[in-house]
A = this chain, B = another copy of it.
Amino acid sequence: MRSQPASMRDVAHRAGVSLSTVSRVLRGAPGVAPEVRRRVQHAADELSYVVSRNASGLVTGRTGRVAVIVPFLQPWFFGVALSGISDALREADLDMLVYQVGETRAREGWTRALPLRRNTDAVITVSMDLSEEECQRLDDVGVPMVLVGQCAPGRASVYIDDRAGTAGATQHLLNLGHTRIAYIGSRREEWSSGSSRHRLEGYEAGMAAAGLTPWSVSKATGRTGGELAMGELLSDRDPPTAVLAEFDGLAMGAHRILRRSGVRVPESISLMGFDNHDAAAVLDLTTVDQAPYDIGLTAGRLTVGVLDGTARSDSHVEMPTQIILRQSTASPRGSRGLSS
């Protein structure tokens, strides 16, 4: 309650020892008599004393903080990923600084607008789709960097195998007996990352392996895009019996159109998403899970490892995806699929 929070000197005084002893104890450094150690601990507790990372960092050069940079904080994915990162950093007693870059990213200097230099031990970027130039600018701040959701050669990265994800999803639909499988994706102009490209490629590869011709449509991004795309598919002379969407948002838009049109899922059309969005469970949507929490946890631990020196700063970790089977996919009517 005192307005002047206790300092190390206060603790030293109270414990009847010197500053350095307190420092040693509180850092867990060796070479202190057990009895003295206990006394110091006790004094610190009584004063609710906590070491100022500010001051200790000044001398050690380590801040005890890791900056996490995200484009947005609102989309479901980021909260979950941050949760994993947070848990991993907490294990190593590191604090998490979160920067939402958002639209300001357009303003060229965002990498320097952030007080990173000297204020952070490492930087984790999440789904930032950094250009090589931006990467270099971040290199410039002189701290280790870990990229999440992006695979950059020579830099620590954690990402999922998007290609395998959609390939597996396509296989799932093929196994059910579908052959007219359409793909709804985002428009090429809006691709910020390799992710969109990889997902499309996975689908195409899956189709090709089965000797089928890929059939993909791209409208806008987001739910509306899904609505538009599904509208187009439903207007086709011979509509697909199964639809795979690049991400759940698109699938949800598609689902809405299907509901409104009275087309039954999965009886008439099977629908499959990607991401395992929160709302996918609500819609009983079969989807591909990318375990964002695990991604975050892995990225966080990798960061700790790089700081420790126990992990290389160019390690790449590819996380597996997993199909979550729900009610929105089934064999087409009259098919010879697995389930018939």
Contacts and interface: CB of A to CB of B under 8 A. Distances in A.
Interface of A: 1-3, 5, 48-55, 57-58, 63-65, 72-76, 78-80, 82-83, 86-87, 90, 95-100, 102, 112, 115-119, 139-142, 223, 252, 255-256, 278-279, 281-284, 293
A283 to B, nearest CB: 6
Given A54-B57, A54-B63, A293-B74, A98 B82 contact: yes
12 contacts: A5-B141, A48-B117, A50-B115, A51-B115, A53-B115, A64-B115, A72-B83, A79-B79, A95-B99, A97-B97, A278-B278, A278-B279
B100 A83 contact: yes
Question: For chain A, what secondary structure do more than half of its interface residues adopt (helix, strand, loop), or is it mixed?
Answer: mixed
Contact of A74 (B2, B83, B100, B115): B83
A30 to B, nearest CB: 22
Nearest to A252: B282
Contacts of A98: 82, 86, 96-98
Contacts of A83: 72-74, 100
Given A58-B58, A100-B83, A119 B52 contact: yes
Given A58-B58, A87-B100, A74 B80 contact: yes
Given A97-B96, A119-B52, A80 B73 contact: yes
Given A119-B53, A278-B279, A73 B63 contact: no
A23 to B, nearest CB: 15
